[in-house]
Amino acid sequence: MIVFDLECSQGHHFEGWFDSSEAFDGQCRQGLVSCPVCGDTDVRRILSPVAVKKGVREAHQDEARSEAIDYRKLAQEVVRYVQENSEDVGSKFAVEALKMHYGVSEPRNIRGSATEEEEKILKDEGIEFFKVPFPKKDDKKAN
Q: Mean pLDDT throughout 102-130?
A: 93
Mean pLDDT of the chain: 83
In this structure, are 42 and 87 located in the same domain? no
Q: Is the pLDDT of residue 60 over 50?
A: no
pLDDT at 48 over 80: no
On whether residue 57 sits in a domain, the answer given is no
- pLDDT of 2-23, one tens digit each? 888 899 999 898 888 888 888 8
Per-residue pLDDT tens for 72-102?
Answer: 888 888 888 888 999 999 999 999 999 999 9
Structural domain range at position 76: 71-124
Task: Indicate whether 54 belongs to any domain.
Answer: no
CA distance 112 to 131: 9
Q: Which residues of 110-130 are buried (b: 16+ CB within 10 A; e: fewer)?
A: bbbebeeebbeebeeeeeeee
Residue 133 within a domain: no
Q: Check if the beta carbon of residue 20 is closer than 8 Å to that of residue 43.
A: no
- Please give the pLDDT value at position 62: 44
Residues 42 and 78 in one domain: no
In a domain, 130, yes or no: no
Residue 117: which H helix or E strand, with range? helix 116-124
Number of domains composing the chain: 2
Q: Are residues 41 and 75 in the same domain?
A: no
pLDDT value at 51 more than 80: no
Predicted confidence at residue 56, as pLDDT, reads 52
Q: How far apart are CA 127 and CA 100, in angstroms?
A: 10
Check residue 50 and give its pLDDT: 57
The sheet with strand 2-8 has its strands ordered as 13-18, 2-8, 43-46
pLDDT at 46: 85
- Contact assessment for residue 17 and residue 2, using Cβ atoms and an 8 Å cutoff: yes
For residue 39, the Cα-to-chain-centroid distance in whole angstroms is 19
- Amino acid code (one letter) for 140: K
Residue 63 has pLDDT above 50, yes or no: no
Say if residue 106's pLDDT is above 80.
yes
β-bridge mates for residue 111, sequence order:
88
DSSP bridge pairs for 110? 87
